[in-house]
C-alpha cells in the first residue's frame, strides 16, 4: 500500500476527542483501544441532538419523526459508501457476536450433513462458535490452525483443508491478539474456487482503516462500531446476492425484506444516528490534512487510512522493538509493523511475573491496559498460554501519541 507523505497532526486528532480533556481520562495513557475506543465530539453531538429533538418513533410524516428516519437511513448509506458497499448490504446490529449468531442461524438451512465448515484457532470466539454450532445440522468442522511458533495462519494450511464440500470459511482479517493482518483477498480467492462463502471478522482491523469490502472479495464482513469511534453497535456487510436469499430471521411479515431479514430487533435508533458523527469526524480529519474535495467518499477514506497507518506505525514500532528486545518478555506476533502487515495491537507475557501482576503494575502507573484471553482462548491455548491469567495487551489507535508511548515504555521499564 502507498504510505502518505502528509503527517497526521496528532494535536488536531486529540482535540476532536473530549475524553482527552476529561478530568478522569486525561490522566491516563490509553492502551485499551482493541477493547473499545473513545468517541469524537461529532458522535456525541449527533447523539445529543437526536435525543433532544428527534427521539420519537421514526418514519412518520411529522417533522421530528421524518428527520429521525432520514438520519437513520443516512447513517447506513454513509457507512455503505465508506466500505464500498450499497445500503441493502449493510446490517447494523447490537454487536458482532449477535450479528454472526443471527447469520449462522440463517445459513444453517443451506448446510447438508457432510458439508464442511472451516474455522480458525486464531479468531475471537465470536467468529468460531456460531460456525462450530453448524455441526448440529451435520456439518463437519475443520480447524485451520496457527503455526504455534509464529502464531500466524498460513495459506498453505488452508489450501490443504479446502475441498469441494467446503461451504464456509470463517476467518479473522486481523487477530485481536497476534495483530497480523491476514490476506483476506487471497483467502477469498482460493475459497471461492471451491464455491465456499467467506466470513471475515474485521473487528480488529477496521479501527485502523475502514476496508473496501469489494476489493477484499469477502461474502460477509463484520466489525464492531464501538471500536471504530462509535457507540456500542456493530456492522455486518453481506453480498446482496447472498443476503437476499437467506431465510428470514425477523418478523414473519418482513419475509423478503432484506437486510432486515438478518437484523431481528434492529439497532438502537439514537446510536445508529450517532454513527453519522464518525463519518463527520473522518471528513474533518480529511479536510484538515488534504485539499482535494472532489474525491469520492471511498477515495477520501483511502487517504485517511494511509495517514492513520503511517502514524500508527510510528507510535507502535518503538513498543514492539522494546518488548521484542527484552529477554524476559515474550512478544506475540511480528516484531515490526511494515507496510501495514500488522495492526498496533501488541500482546505479550512475562517469564517471571503473572500477566495479572504486570497489568496491575502498569495500571498503577496510569497506563490503561489489562490482562485477559480476550475471548481468543483457542489462540492462547495453541500458544501454550494460561487462558485464565491470559496475556497483557497494549492496543493503540491513531489518537495515541508519542508522549503516551514514552510514558508506557518508562512504565514497562519498571516491570
Ligand atoms: C476480533 C474480534 N472479533 C469479534 C469480537 C466480538 O465483538 P462484539 O463485542 O461486538 O460482539 C471482538 C471483541 O472484542 C473482537 O476483538
- The pLDDT tens digits of the residues spanning 268-287 come to 999 999 999 999 999 999 99
Residue 358 has pLDDT above 70, yes or no: yes
Does 2 score more than 70 pLDDT? no
Residue among 102, 107, 171, 161 at smallest CA distance from 137: 107
Cα 125 to ligand 1 centroid, rounded to whole Å: 8
Which atom, in ligand 1's list, is nearest to the CA of 201? 3
Query: Grid coordinates standing for 156?
Result: 498453505
Residue 335 has pLDDT above 60, yes or no: yes
Residue % of the chain over a pLDDT of 70: 99
Cell of 116: 464442511
For the record, the C-alpha cell of 181 comes out as 493482518
**What confidence tier does 5 reach under pLDDT thresholds 50, 70, 90?**
confident
Distance, CA of 233 to CA of 47 (rounded, Å): 13
Read off the pLDDT band of 144 (50, 70, 90).
Answer: very high
Establish whether the linkage from the previous residue to 259 is cis, with ω within 30° of 0: yes
Q: Which residue has the cell 501454550?
A: 384
Backbone φ and ψ of 170, nearest 5°: -110, 120
Q: CA-CA distance, 414 to 358, in Å (whole number)?
A: 10
The minimum-distance atom of ligand 1 relative to the CA of 374 is: 14
Q: Closest ligand 1 atom to the C-alpha of 98? A: 11
Query: Is the pLDDT reported for residue 169 higher than 80?
Result: yes
How close is the Cα of 63 to the center of ligand 1, in Å? Answer: 37
Please give the Cα distance from 168 to 141 (Å, whole number): 10
- Tell me which of 97, 206, 211, 347 to substitute to probe ligand 1's pocket, judged by most ligand atoms within 8 Å of the beta carbon: 97
Distance CA 95, CA 233 (A): 5
List, for residues 42-51, the tens digit of each pLDDT value.
999 999 999 9
The binding-site residues of ligand 1, defined as CB within 6 angstroms of any ligand atom, are: 95-97, 124, 126-127, 172, 176, 201, 203-204, 224, 234
Q: Indicate whether 316 pLDDT > 70.
A: yes
Q: Can you tell me the distance from the alpha carbon of 85 to that of 237, in angstroms, rounded to the nearest whole number?
A: 8
Indicate if the pLDDT at residue 362 is higher than 50.
yes
Q: How large is the average pLDDT for residues 19-40?
A: 98
pTM for the model = 0.97
To test the pocket of ligand 1, the residue of 102, 129, 176 to mutate (highest count of ligand atoms within 8 Å of its CB) is: 176
Distance from residue 34's CA to the centre of ligand 1 (Å):
9
Grid cell of 12 as nine digits? 488536531
CB 131 within 8 A of CB 168: yes
Calpha distance 310→316 (Å, rounded): 10
For residue 1, pLDDT over 80 is answered with no
Mean pLDDT over each residue of the chain, to the nearest integer:
97
Specify the ligand 1 atom closest to the Cα of 95: 10
Distance 92 CA to ligand 1 centre (A): 14
Amino acid at each position: 500500500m502507498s504510505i502518505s507523505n502528509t503527517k497526521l497532526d496528532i494535536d488536531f486528532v486529540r482535540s476532536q476527542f473530549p475524553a482527552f480533556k476529561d478530568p478522569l481520562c486525561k490522566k491516563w495513557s490509553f492502551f485499551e483501544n482493541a477493547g473499545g475506543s473513545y468517541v469524537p465530539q461529532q458522535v456525541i453531538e449527533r447523539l445529543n441532538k437526536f435525543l433532544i429533538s428527534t427521539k420519537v418513533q421514526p418514519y412518520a410524516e411529522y417533522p421530528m419523526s421524518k428527520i429521525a428516519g432520514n438520519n437513520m437511513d443516512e447513517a447506513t448509506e454513509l457507512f455503505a459508501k465508506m466500505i464500498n458497499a450499497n445500503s441493502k448490504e449493510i446490517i447494523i446490529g447490537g454487536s458482532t457476536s449477535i450479528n454472526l449468531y443471527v447469520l449462522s442461524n440463517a445459513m444453517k438451512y443451506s448446510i447438508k450433513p457432510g458439508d464442511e465448515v472451516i474455522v480458525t484457532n486464531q479468531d475471537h470466539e465470536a467468529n468460531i462458535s456460531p460456525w462450530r454450532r453448524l455441526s448440529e445440522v451435520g456439518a463437519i468442522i475443520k480447524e485451520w490452525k496457527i503455526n504455534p511458533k509464529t502464531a500466524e495462519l498460513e495459506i498453505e494450511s488452508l489450501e490443504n483443508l479446502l475441498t469441494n464440500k467446503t461451504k464456509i470459511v470463517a476467518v479473522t482479517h486481523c487477530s485481536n491478539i497476534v495483530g497480523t493482518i491476514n490476506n483476506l483477498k487471497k483467502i477469498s480467492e482460493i475459497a471461492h474456487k471451491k464455491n465456499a462463502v467467506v466470513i471475515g471478522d474485521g473487528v480488529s482491523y477496521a479501527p485502523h482503516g475502514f476496508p473496501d469490502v469489494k476489493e477484499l472479495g469477502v461474502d460477509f464482513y463484520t466489525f464492531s462500531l464501538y471500536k471504530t469511534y462509535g457507540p456500542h453497535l456493530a456492522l455486518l456487510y453481506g453480498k446482496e446476492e447472498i443476503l437476499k436469499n437467506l431465510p428470514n430471521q425477523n418478523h414473519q411479515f418482513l419475509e423478503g425484506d432484506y437486510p432486515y431479514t438478518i437484523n431481528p430487533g434492529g439497532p438502537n435508533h439514537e446510536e445508529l444516528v450517532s454513527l453519522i458523527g464518525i463519518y463527520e469526524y473522518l471528513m474533518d480529519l480529511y479536510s484538515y490534512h488534504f485539499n482535494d474535495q472532489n474525491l469520492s467518499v471511498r477515495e477520501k477514506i483511502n487517504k485517511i487510512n494511509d495517514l492513520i497507518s503511517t502514524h500508527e506505525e510510528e507510535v507502535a514500532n518503538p513498543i514492539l522493538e522494546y518488548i521484542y528486545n527484552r529477554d524476559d518478555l515474550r512478544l506475540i506476533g511480528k516484531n515490526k509493523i511494515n507496510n501495514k502487515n500488522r495492526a498496533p495491537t501488541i500482546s505479550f507475557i512475562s517469564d517471571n511475573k503473572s500477566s495479572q501482576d504486570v497489568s496491575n503494575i502498569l495500571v498503577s502507573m496510569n497506563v490503561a491496559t489489562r490482562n485477559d484471553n480476550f475471548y481468543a482462548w483457542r489462540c492462547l491455548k495453541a500458544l501454550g498460554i494460561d487462558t485464565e491469567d491470559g496475556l497483557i495487551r497494549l492496543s493503540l489507535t491513531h489518537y495515541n501519541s508519542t508522549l503516551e508511548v514514552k510514558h508506557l515504555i518508562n512504565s514497562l521499564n519498571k516491570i
